[in-house]
Chain A
Amino acid sequence: MTLDALLALNRWDGGLAYFLATGTLNIDPINVHLTLPWLHLPIVLAWVISMFVMSGIVTSLVSVNVMALVWLERKISGLIQNRMGPMMVGIIKPKGWATKHHSFWKWMSVWFGGWLQTLADGVKLLLKEDIIPTNADKWVFISAPILTFTACIMGYAVIPFTPNFPVLKDLNIGFLFIFAAGSYTAVSILMAGWSSNNKYSLLGGMRSAAQIISYELPLVLSLIGVVMMAGSLKMEDLVNWQRTVGAHHGHWFILYQPIGFLIFVISAVAETNRPPFDLPEAESELVSGFNTEYSGFRFSVFFLSEFASMFGACALAATLFLGGWSGPGSENGFIAFLWFLAKTYCMVLIFMWIRWTFPRLRVDQLMAFGWKILTPAALINVLWTGVEIALVKAHGYQHQYLYIWIPILLYCLLGIFVAKPKPRGDFSILQETS
């Protein structure tokens, strides 16, 4: 790696490494020019340090984000379930103002209430006693949460937060890397379940392994269509396709791959162990599943990685189907980052909405759904995409909407034919007024 090559990377870590190696920093658009003549690190060392700094930035970004996510989850559940806490706590009303500016304080409570709950949660988890059960397999028990968290964080290496800030911008296997890294969670959860020496944990670990392996398949298959259209696995190319190539500029993949998107969202919910697919935890059945025996900080690491993996899945959905960081004004890196966050949080809201609405599936139904419905549907989607591409190649782009709407129409037809049970019972009592 030469100095020129570092600059040619045109991204943050390259720039940082260049600065550490040469002592000169030039950020042209905002006119920052800094020279530290004494700073002359060997290129390899500069490169390693800059990598560490970048991964530190990503990790802290994710961790801070998780705090926001937990808060958001509380707010959403508070809205759906009429909870008091997330809507009220932490807004200190000055004496006498409460009645005077009622609507203002109500607005404050709705938007900012419960902001300290996450912090309280964190403090509680950190101060709790960290218990390792006597009969547990100690080292496996200890390493399981670390491995889970590592697997979740690794996926972030290729996610393009802004045009110039993915850690591994040039990785040509792109999102496959995310799944490769993410699959480690199956191993780590199984480790947690096995090492706890608890029957509930073991069942949870087993369920998790089966579930993650089964849903990895439709998850990856649902993205094959995207890859076929863009012709690349590189995240950068996929975003750029949506930004520039699509029929007109700014046509996202969700328009071309509606069914792929649906399959992706469903499998991602299953992959991140969130309700209605939270079988590994299944509070009412397995107490808390694989993390029953974990307490204190070790539990909080599981907690953290659960949210981190959810955010990762949402970021992936935003990048692959919703155009990633592209949007009006995304030439500016900061605005691009805001676009990315906005799209990701839209996905997060959908995930949370799902969580607080549905009952949980049973383990055999989960498997049947994954193997009998999602996987074949994803395969058919791949087939259809192939047909679509062939047709587009033959006729050009002018008939593209036809290809988009055919699968949607088919899906709607399917919805009509799904038998709906006839409601039973007499509800006239509800209409009477006393």
Chain B
Amino acid sequence: MTLAPNISLGKEEGLKTEEFVVNIGPQHPSTHGLLRLVATLDGEIIKEVVPHIGYLHRSTEKIAENRYYHSFVPYTDRTDYISAMLMNWGYVMAVEKVAGICNPMRAEVIRVLIGELNRLASHLLFYGTFGMDVGAFTPFLWAFRERENILRLFESLCGQRLTYNYYRIGGVSHDLPKDWVGNLQKWLAHFKQVYKELYDILTYNVIFLRRTKGVGILSKEQAIAWGCTGPVLRASGVDWDLRRDETYSVYKELKFEVPVGENGDVWDRYWVRMQEMLQSISLVEQCLAKLKELDDKLPRLQRGSAEWKENAMFVIRTQSVLQVEPGEAYVRIEAARGELGYYLVSKGGAKPWKLKIRSGAFCNLSVLPEITRGKLIADLIAILASLDIVLGEIDR
């Protein structure tokens, strides 16, 4: 439903009206970070929105040129801090491709497991903030309660709650802790019940439907033309998922579906992410089964044994300063916010010559002025929330 502004501004006799420019951000509760939207309003109707980015620019790509390959992994955490594991993953995959490193099977399974768990955490944060942006406060706290559990699992895994630095070139930094899998399974059983609650409180709520159905429609063609990726692209009806269509890691061996939206409106973007959460649950479970299978096949090294020490020393020696042969590669993975690409050029030596990051949220945000024209302020906030941007990733 749109409100067609059929009054001609400033031309009526007697009453002079003019446009009204509002700075939404950089400090604003719903811009999800340091985003500044310069909105030209006609009353409540938006004539034009110009997103101004760069408030969080830290020249991450340039820093990469001055860091050893391993030292750059923590910097990738700081780009998309909501799904830092996935940011790690893309980078280490790019380096592995240039350096020609093959990973152990167990490490690959753990990567998928942790990556999907992080996608779940990221989508939970989306769910919460999206609910908040359309005015429902309760889903926010419900989602954060569950996300907190994932963060606790991550904390026991790698000591960090937000910037994990867990993935390593050639694997992951260390194996899963002792009771970790048990805790994860316990939480999954709990979350399956909670998911239904989360889904029910918002999805088919009358007010929620009115706020989201038919709002901010992004057509298939537009989505492709603007380079939108991830859930935003899939919500517009494009059946494209890098995990399936350009498969990497062990995704080939796992079963999952790619949820696709119908109309490309705000509700569809929400719905696609909710469905992806389900798929992530399924993927995590499959990974757990796979890990068990691997454990049965190959007994793990006893911690502290002579073999284990040898192995550890090998890791320390080889990974401290990694020398990479000249070469270049573009690696892309399906991150929580769309296609995450790392273009890495090496001219030999211990540091990359050039690293370019292609982030999904950057392209997704660029479509905002297109789909908010003629809508209301409340719609702008809902649309922005449905694009699920993280400014760290956009500004880099």
Contact = CB atoms under 8 A, between A and B. Distances in A.
B141 A362 contact: no
Interface in B120-178: 131-138, 141-142, 145
Interface stretch (B72-80, B199-207, B295-303, B335-343): B199-207
Contact of A363 (B20, B207, B378): B378
Contacts of B324: none
A365 B208 CA distance: 12
Interface string A176-203: 0000000000000000000000011001
A203 B285 CA distance: 49
Interface string B1-39: 101000000000000000010100000111000000000
Interface stretch (B84-92, B189-197, B355-363): B189-197
A349 to B, nearest CB: 16
A429 to B, nearest CB: 5
Contacts of B210: 361-362, 365
Interface stretch (A99-107, A257-265, A275-283): A275-283
Contact of A284 (B132, B205, B209, B259): B132
A286 to B, nearest CB: 8
B188 interface: yes
A200 B135 CA distance: 17
How would you classify the secondary structure of chain A's contact residues: helix, strand, loop or mixed?
loop
Contact of B195 (A200, A424, A430): A430
B379 interface: yes
B281 interface: yes
A362 B285 contact: no
Nearest to B380: A285
A251 interface: no
Contact of B135 (A83, A359, A430): A359
Nearest to A425: B275
A38 interface: no
A423 interface: yes
Contacts, number: 115
A73 to B, nearest CB: 12
Contacts of A81: 137-138, 141-142
Most buried by A among B131, B136, B205, B378: B378
Contact of B377 (A82, A203, A361, A430): A203
B387 interface: no
B3 A364 contact: yes
A303 interface: no
How would you classify the secondary structure of chain B's contact residues: helix, strand, loop or mixed?
helix
B378 A425 contact: no
B278 A430 contact: yes
A347 to B, nearest CB: 21
B185 A357 contact: no
B69 interface: no
A155 to B, nearest CB: 27
A434 interface: yes
A423 to B, nearest CB: 7
B145 A82 contact: yes
Contacts of B141: 81-83
B242 interface: no
A434 B278 contact: no
B381 A285 contact: yes
Contacts of B223: none
A285 B378 contact: yes
B211 A203 contact: no
A424 B202 CA distance: 14
Given A82-B141, A434-B285, A429 B204 contact: no
Nearest to B23: A199
15 contacts: A77-B137, A207-B44, A275-B137, A276-B207, A286-B377, A357-B136, A359-B202, A362-B210, A363-B378, A364-B3, A365-B211, A420-B204, A423-B204, A426-B278, A429-B281
Given A282-B378, A286-B377, 5 more contacts: A81-B138, A284-B29, A361-B211, A365-B211, A425-B259
Task: Pick the 10 closest A-B CB pairs, nearest first.
Answer: A360-B135, A359-B136, A81-B141, A284-B30, A359-B134, A362-B378, A359-B135, A434-B285, A284-B133, A429-B282
